Amino acid sequence: MDAVVLLGSFIVLILLRVPVAYSLGLATLVGAWWIDIPLHAVMIQIAGGVNKFSLLAIPFFVLAGAIMAEGGMARRLVAFAGVLVGFVRGGLSLVNITASTFFGAISGSSLADTASVGSVLIPEMEKKGYPREFSTAVTISGSVQALLTPPSHNSVIYSLAAGGTVSISALFVAGIGPGLLLSTAMAALCLLFARKRNYPKGEVVPLRQALKICVEALWGLMTMVIILGGILSGVFTATESAAVAVVWAFFVTMFIYRDYKWRELPKMLHRTVRTLSIVMILIAFAASFGYIMTLMQIPSKITTAFLTLSDNRYVILMCVNLMLLVLGTLMDMAPLILILTPILLPVVTSFGVDPVHFGMIMLVNLGIGLITPPVGAVLFVGAAIGKVTI
């Protein structure tokens, strides 16, 4: 009955279109009232939910991504991708995927990836003869790998939701292989479509121009080297790497590229703070929600239910994958990570699944949900940029 009260009130609030963060908070209060927990204990959990040093990585990575997206770095990475793969048939679709791979490894955000790469490449692809719907779909799909490759702030959220028992650095390293595999698979599919539909062939960039493009893009690509190199070498932690990325992105944007106006900085900071305030409120309320779930022993009850379903880890993983895919289409990614990780992690670890591996499983499944109706945040952003209907 406890689970029905807590989860039922949350679902009812969601159906009433109350924002997810406030639905979590209000459902927590209902659950605390039901099991007779003092409200000040809930308030302590809310404050403690955001009082973690590792959470500093999120605002730093979001700010670094905003600086790079608006400061001309994305445009230069697109040009660099054009030098590498733009000359083959369907080359601009490969440029799109490659640019998303580069920018995703710098921003760690699918939304920033879609907005920055899409605003440059969707009009260009249409001008060269690609259907606008195809161009938009490639941009949206290509941004999913940004959730896997470092510096994915969703990996930071997963580490937090796992109680800090999973290393952020380990998640960053684990995401490189799946991210590149996803990009390669999408590139192969684009080549198949290009040959089948006879999409235009790109032109080889002249050597002198190619060298200039590569030199300009090198400053942006150095961000990946700084973040990954610093973490893997042990020079700094994942959180510290986020701060270093902000400083480097600011330096490159304002003193090397010099495309961005100083007077625009306050507006960009305001937009970043607004985004972060939503994320932090969500994390705070999710911490209290998880606290009440633990008191009600909901995770252990769900683990027991899965154990009675089957003792085969592959059957359990298949059920979990399907559940994540379905839920990912109905709700945004961050709250699902915060809600489901404390519930599902004990289940999969009891079957011998590594927590880092499960983190990648969760990010991929929920990432697909971001580009799938009815609640696909990246899908809506991409459709707005591409000026196509959902």
* pLDDT at residue 121, as a whole number: 78
State the pLDDT at residue 356: 94
Q: Which of 307, 304, 150, 296 is nearest to 237 (CA)?
A: 150
Beta-carbon contacts of 241 under 8 Å, excluding residues fewer than 6 positions away, are 57, 151, 226, 227, 230, 231
Only one residue has tokens 């660099």, namely 80
Residue 238: which pLDDT band, with cuts at 50, 70 and 90? confident
> Mean pLDDT throughout 37-59?
80
Helix (H, G, I), strand (E, B) or coil at 23: helix
Cis previous bond, 151, omega within 30: yes
Residue 180 has pLDDT above 80, yes or no: yes
Q: What are the residue ranges spanned by the domains of the chain?
A: 54-276
Mean local confidence (pLDDT), 162-189: 87
Cα separation, 239 vs 216, in Å, equals 27
pLDDT at 262: 84
pLDDT at 354: 92
Average pLDDT over residues 184-213: 84
Does position 344 have pLDDT exceeding 80, yes or no? yes
pLDDT of 355 strictly over 90: yes
Of the CA atoms within 13 Å of residue 55, those in its CB half-sphere come to: 18
* Averaged pLDDT of the chain: 82
Say if residue 357's pLDDT is above 90. yes
Determine the Cα–Cα distance for residues 140 and 118; give it in Å rounded to an integer. Answer: 8
Question: What pLDDT, on the 0 to 100 scale, is given for residue 359?
Answer: 93
